[in-house]
Amino acid sequence: MDLQYRIEDVPPWYLCVVLGFQHFLTMFGGTLSIPLILAPMMCIGNDTIATAEILGTILFVGGLVTCLQSTIGSRLPIIQSGSFAFLIPATIILQLDKYKCPMIIGNSISLNNSISPIYTGSPEHTEVWQIRMREIQGAIIGSSVFQVAIGLSGAVGFLMQYIGPLAIAPTISLIGLSLFKAAADTASQNWWITLMTIFWITLFSQYLRDVDIPCFSFDRKNKKCSKSGYPVFKLFPVILAIIVSWSLCGILTATNAIPDDPNHWAYPARTDNKTAVLTQAKWFRFPYPGQWGAPTFSAASVFGMLGGVLAGMVESIGDYYAAARISGAPPPPVHAINRGVFTEGVGCVLAGLWGTGTGLTSISQNIGAIGITKVGSRRVVQTAGLLILVLGVIGKFGALFVTIPEPILGGVFMTMFGMIIAVGISNLQFVDLNSSRNLFIFGFSIMFGLSSTNWVSSHPDSIHTGNDIVDQILTVLLSSSMFVGGFVGFFLDNTVPGTARERGIMAWNELLDSGDLCDSSECYNLPYVTKYLRRWNWASYVPLSPTFAGICRRMYRLPH
């Protein structure tokens, strides 16, 4: 691949800053939607200050873990941020009867009815949503210990022998399918503005994706100007769509084309109904562990969140190979994958301690941005991590984006969740779609995942094992379509007879295998300590060590 900067190259500092900020813009659209989806489920209501603080926390922890991942983890140019895979289990947990919202009054917004109403922003309201946040924190911390153990033990190689496209496709697809209600509820507040936002995103990302904006530069050495094209529409379709739609809503608000009446159907599209958050938010706010209180732990929540951990882990392993291929690095050896999974697990534990409301995983959009910009430098991503961390501390920065009208976010959700579904289905390109075996496994996994979880969610009291804790665990797990569909796909793919080529295992590994996958490379070695580890024989038995040999050879031996 014709790269301007390969993984080990170090661009000038000013170029690192510009390209790092570009990575921030690429990941921000998806990150912004996470606290906005969580807000109604956690009974935050219209408390925009709380939403902005959660957003700042996600950015802070995401920046911190990005630096860790690119420096001592997989050492690949990968951005870490909030994951949608954790939202489904969080939704299931928060739908339990004990977490149903009371009536919250403020800014003409109310949630579920209760005997005594609570006003938005009051101490009572703060405690209401923080109780729910602490439960999610405990679930993320407890379930992420499993991912830490997987990376630390070197079991990734063993597990990868059994996880194929037919297990991954339904798991990821059901993430998007399960979020359709959140997208519809947000979009329905003003369908015209939502459709306008969808139009702009479609225009920029599809119709104008090959249109470059001309940029001029002066060559001091040759003393002449040169013109080059910059793919603005391809890199920033979501951000551009938000800016254009937001600006048009601002014009409609300024001209009173949208009435200043909270009861009017178009009112949610006004740009001034959340502006108070800009004056109330602090200029600087440093997130810290336990800021919402001590996390609470329950077996049901921890086991329920495991589905999100597994989905995020599998998705990230695929991203490691994609990032290596696109940044000019050799395929990651097993020790790099072990460290990547381990570091991501530690990152999820940190996310639980800080209280982001979701776990962390690699961001695929940023890997695509590397392919477009031809800059695969690790230093650029490390710079991006620092920028994301700093911007997470600036309170008014997060507050600014919280003021975006919700119908605009509805359009973003529609397109973004649709892409998640498509990304899951795209894994089927490796399998034989003329095989009735494969069609049955994928179709049944999706159908059973949606149908069974819909029934369990509608009948939460239908599971009676005689043990309340077991009942809660089964209710949470069986209410997650992602977990049920992924497990069914995994089970059938490994038990129904089929050849490696038919299952897509051979095509998948042929794509990933551009050399000896187990040969180490300098770009994956740990900085400063590798030369010492090579002197000690015991280091070859440590899964995180660059000298680890373990199950490396067995890992990629294809079944016949």
Query: C-alpha angle with apex 306: 302 to 309, nearest 5 degrees?
Result: 125
pLDDT of amino acid 125? 80
Question: Which stretches of 462-543 are DSSP H helices?
Answer: 468-478, 481-495, 500-503, 505-512, 530-533
Residue 128: inside a domain: yes
Segments forming the whole domain that contains residue 168: 13-555
Residue 489: inside a domain: yes
Q: How far apart are CA 130 and CA 546, in angstroms?
A: 42
> Is residue 367 classed as helix, strand or coil in its secondary structure?
helix
Residue 44: inside a domain: yes
pLDDT of amino acid 2? 62
pLDDT in tens, 373-409: 677 888 999 999 999 999 888 878 777 777 788 888 8
pLDDT in tens, 47-105: 778 888 888 899 999 999 999 999 988 888 889 988 877 887 888 788 777 777 776 55
Residue 512: inside a domain: yes
Q: How far apart are CA 507 and CA 513, in angstroms?
A: 10
Q: How far apart are CA 180 and CA 556, in angstroms?
A: 37
pLDDT of amino acid 211? 81
What is the DSSP annotation of 181-197?
Answer: HHHHHHHTT-HHHHHHH
pLDDT above 90 for 140: yes
CA dihedral 95, 98, 103, 104 (to 10 degrees): -80
pLDDT of amino acid 352? 93
Residue 417: inside a domain: yes
Residue 4: inside a domain: no
pLDDT of amino acid 69? 92
Residue the block writes with tokens 């095989």: 435
Count of other CB atoms within 10 angstroms of residue 171: 30
Question: Which of 48, 34, 47, 66 has the alpha carbon at shortest distance from 140?
Answer: 34
CA separation (Å) from 107 to 45, 110, 112, 520?
9, 9, 15, 58
CA separation (Å) from 208 to 200, 213, 366, 497?
10, 10, 19, 45
pLDDT in tens, 3-27: 677 888 888 888 788 788 878 876 7
Q: In DSSP terms, which residues pair with 226 in a beta bridge?
A: 217
φ, ψ of residue 402 in degrees (nearest 5): -70, -20
> Is residue 327 classed as helix, strand or coil in its secondary structure?
coil
Residue 153: in which H helix or E strand, if any?
helix 123-153
Question: Which stretches of 327-435 are DSSP H helices?
Answer: 334-354, 364-373, 378-393, 395-402, 406-426
Largest CA distance in the chain: 82
Question: Which of 260, 216, 206, 211 has the alpha carbon at shortest distance from 232?
Answer: 211
pLDDT in tens, 298-357: 887 888 788 778 777 877 777 787 777 777 777 777 888 889 999 999 999 999 999 898
Query: Residue 108 — pLDDT band, cuts 50, 70, 90?
Result: very low
Q: In DSSP terms, which residues pair with 109 in a beta bridge?
A: 106
Count of other CB atoms within 10 angstroms of residue 283: 10
pLDDT of amino acid 3? 67
Q: How far apart are CA 382 and CA 387, in angstroms?
A: 9
Residue 186 makes CB contacts below 8 A (sequence gap 6+) with 36, 194, 406, 407, 409, 410, 413
Burial of 472 (0-12, 13-18, 19+ CB in 10 A): buried
φ, ψ of residue 174 in degrees (nearest 5): -70, -20
Give the count of domains, the chain.
1
Residue 14: in which H helix or E strand, if any?
helix 13-41
Residue 1: inside a domain: no
Q: How far apart are CA 124 and CA 133, in angstroms?
A: 15
Residue the block writes with tokens 């490390």: 382
- Are 442 and 436 a contacting pair, CB within 8 Å? no
Pairing of strands 224-230, 80-82: unpaired
pLDDT in tens, 197-218: 999 988 988 888 788 888 766 5
Question: Which of 514, 181, 487 has the alpha carbon at shortest distance from 326?
Answer: 514
Between 334 and 245, the higher pLDDT residue: 245
pLDDT in tens, 405-424: 888 888 887 887 787 788 77
- Are 225 and 218 a contacting pair, CB within 8 Å? yes
Q: DSSP character for 204?
A: I
pLDDT in tens, 28-37: 767 877 888 8
Residue 281: inside a domain: yes
Report the Cα 514 to chain-centroid distance in Å: 28
Residue type, 468: D
Count of other CB atoms within 10 angstroms of residue 204: 22
> Is residue 61 classed as helix, strand or coil in its secondary structure?
helix
